Amino acid sequence: MKQSLLDLLRKVDTPTVCNAIEVAQGKRGFDAFTRGTMLCSDPRAGAMVGYARTARIAAVSAPSEPADVIKARRMAYYRHMSQGPRPAVTVVEDIDFPHCIGAYWGEINTTIHKGFGIAGALTNGVMRDLGDLPEGFPVVAGSIGPSHGFVHVREIGTPVTVFGLGIRDGDLVHADRHGALVIPEDVVPLLEAAITKLLSTERLVLDPARAEGFDFDAFQASWAAFEAART
């Protein structure tokens, strides 16, 4: 990914990227995005952008495997998160969903992942320690709760599903307080131009609407210019 595209993706919100993908594809109907309302640990942090590092966890019940197996898998998980292409986003599916109780994302785990150079975390599970999470590491999660339960890693690097969005290890993810999406590989070379075009086109309506004296006639003229630019 070009640095200029990465910088731009970090500046814009996920709805803008969702629309820009359709601009790049030349049609409506892009559907690789989350469904439902998610929670963001720091809505002011902006977007997280990166290649997915995936895993699956559980927390409602204690693990049935031997303790040494669980510990070894935990270390394998952290090794996986510390490696791979950057920028990166950790994507963790809690298989207890929709009855998640174990807050995997608290002060310690977020600080470790930030130290690995990861941009943030996306999960259908639980986060906690709000106010103590490190700055610059947003978590977009399914819920907030106080306990870690019996949280343990079940799978590493496997395909996951978060709020209806299927994500594979290595997929390019964009996420913020609105939710998340996966950017199709074939769109990446076109995306920077598509975002720039989208923002420019939106200004054809937004600038007049924000100006003094805006009325229906001004709206009608600006909307006609907007429609012409979109086709």
197 and 179 in one domain?
no
* Residue 229: predicted pLDDT: 87
Q: Do the domain assignments include residue 18?
A: no
Average pLDDT for residues 71-85, to the nearest whole number?
A: 98
pLDDT band at 231 (very low <50, low <70, confident <90, very high): low
Check whether 221 has a pLDDT greater than 80. Answer: yes
Q: What is the pTM of this model?
A: 0.94
Q: Do the domain assignments include residue 25?
A: no
- pLDDT tens-digit map of 17-76: 999 999 999 999 999 999 999 999 999 999 999 999 999 999 999 999 999 999 999 999
In our burial notation (b when 16+ CB lie closer than 10 A, e otherwise), range 166-201 reads ebebebbbbbbbbbbbbbbeebeebbbebbeebeeb
Q: Do the domain assignments include residue 52?
A: yes
Number of domains in the chain: 2
Residue 114 has φ and ψ, to the nearest 5°, of -60, -40
Q: Do the domain assignments include residue 19?
A: no
Residue finishing a domain among 146, 165, 183 = 183
The strand pair at 152-156 and 88-94 is best described as: unpaired
* Residue 11: predicted pLDDT: 97
Residue 83 has φ and ψ, to the nearest 5°, of -115, 180
The rounded percent of the chain whose pLDDT value lies above 70 is 100
- pLDDT tens-digit map of 162-198: 999 999 999 999 999 999 999 999 999 999 999 999 9
54 and 39 in one domain?
yes
Q: Do the domain assignments include residue 140?
A: yes
The strand pair at 121-123 and 88-94 is best described as: parallel
**Whole domain around residue 193: which residue ranges?**
189-230
- 228 versus 123: the higher-pLDDT residue is 123
Check whether 107 has a pLDDT greater than 70. Answer: yes
Check whether 230 has a pLDDT greater than 80. Answer: no
Mean pLDDT of all residues in the chain?
97
Q: Do the domain assignments include residue 23?
A: no
Average pLDDT for residues 132-139, to the nearest whole number?
A: 97
Distance CA 206, CA 202 (A): 6
